[in-house]
Amino acid sequence: LNLSKYKEALDVEILNLPLHKKPENLYDPISYILGIGGKKIRPLLCLLSCDLYSDDFQKAMPQALAVEIFHNFTLLHDDIMDKAEKRRNKPTVHIKWNEPVAILSGDLMLILAYEQVMKAPAYLQHQFFTLFSQTAKDICEGQQYDMDFEQISQPELSEYIEMIRLKTAVLLGCSLKLGALVGGSNEIDADNLYNFGINTGIAFQIIDDLLDSFGDESSFGKRIGGDILANKKTFLRIVAMQNMDAKKQIEFWDKSANEAEKIAAIKQIYVQQNVLEKAQQSINQYHQKAIENIQNLNLNESSKKILLDFAESLLQRSV
């Protein structure tokens, strides 16, 4: 699956955004966060999705920029909330500048994202506004649920899935739907692509939970066991704690200050509770739903294969 033609075109447009403006302390942080990399999955999906229905993927460039700007707005504000000092190995905006600058630049990015998404053919503007606003609200709700879960001892698995749907998956769905509609798809295909994004996004997030505890340090790119040390309410933990004995053991280890011992002990509990199999089952279910979403599309088989390959590549990161 080669996304490089989208990537190259997108990178040019990001550099051409009118961000060399005054006051510099407002605009420079936006150039900075958009410039420090990231996989840019959302805008690439938007352009790919447009390309499947049109002979010109560039038609969806404003929407691709919108989802990329919006995604980076959420990262910028999340980093303040989490007091994160690094993002992609660079200092976060509130560290490099300060917190007021980070709040305000983020606010402006939300406005700039709206402006881009509305650079659409007139007949799509109302629908795009509604979809983008709903997506943005969903993501705020997802972020709040995620923060609330830090306080709740034991969210239900269904609540957790709903949280990751809101926080992560809807923006993938929105990116695909915007691109498809600009490209000229019908509503049914656009909705199937939206749901493909949702199902792929949820599966992706469960894999991320798995890798955080059972991944390979060098390929995962983060230290293994971070979620365990933070007592984070992940898919693994929630499933394991459905067993009362395991729940008691995990709550015992929550207070442990011996990091290596704690990680090893909790991973062992996860293994004993068959959490890896249950996670893999769930991943397979969402992946299967995503495949069905694609099979329903009014596209030829080679186009469908591109999307199936994309889901495959996103979900193949194995433990």
Interface residues with a copy of itself (CB under 8 A) are: 22-23, 25-26, 77, 80-81, 99-101, 103-104, 106-108, 110-112, 114-115, 118, 122, 125-126, 129, 133, 136-137, 140-141, 143-145, 147-148
Of 36 and 118, nearer to a copy of itself (C-beta) is 118
Alpha-carbon distance of 2 to 225, in angstroms, equals 33
Of 23 and 219, nearer to a copy of itself (C-beta) is 23
> Which single residue is written with the structure tokens 């190995």?
89
Of 147 and 264, nearer to a copy of itself (C-beta) is 147
C-beta of 312: minimal distance to a copy of itself in Å? 34
Of 162 and 312, nearer to a copy of itself (C-beta) is 162
C-beta of 32: minimal distance to a copy of itself in Å? 15
C-beta of 110: minimal distance to a copy of itself in Å? 6
C-beta of 34: minimal distance to a copy of itself in Å? 17
Q: Are 235 and 160 in contact (CB under 8 A)?
A: yes
C-beta of 182: minimal distance to a copy of itself in Å? 17
C-beta of 233: minimal distance to a copy of itself in Å? 14
Alpha-carbon distance of 114 to 169, in angstroms, equals 19
C-beta of 291: minimal distance to a copy of itself in Å? 32
Alpha-carbon distance of 264 to 138, in angstroms, equals 36
Q: In the numeric block, which tokens belong to residue 262? A: 């704690």
Of 83 and 222, nearer to a copy of itself (C-beta) is 83
C-beta of 10: minimal distance to a copy of itself in Å? 22
Alpha-carbon distance of 176 to 192, in angstroms, equals 9
Of 73 and 286, nearer to a copy of itself (C-beta) is 73
Q: Mention every residue, 6+ apart, whose C-beta is less than 8 A from residue 226.
A: 212, 232
Of 78 and 191, nearer to a copy of itself (C-beta) is 78
Of 167 and 267, nearer to a copy of itself (C-beta) is 167
Alpha-carbon distance of 276 to 206, in angstroms, equals 10
C-beta of 1: minimal distance to a copy of itself in Å? 33
Integer-rounded Cα radius of gyration of the chain: 20
Chain centre distance of CA 56: 26
Of 153 and 268, nearer to a copy of itself (C-beta) is 153
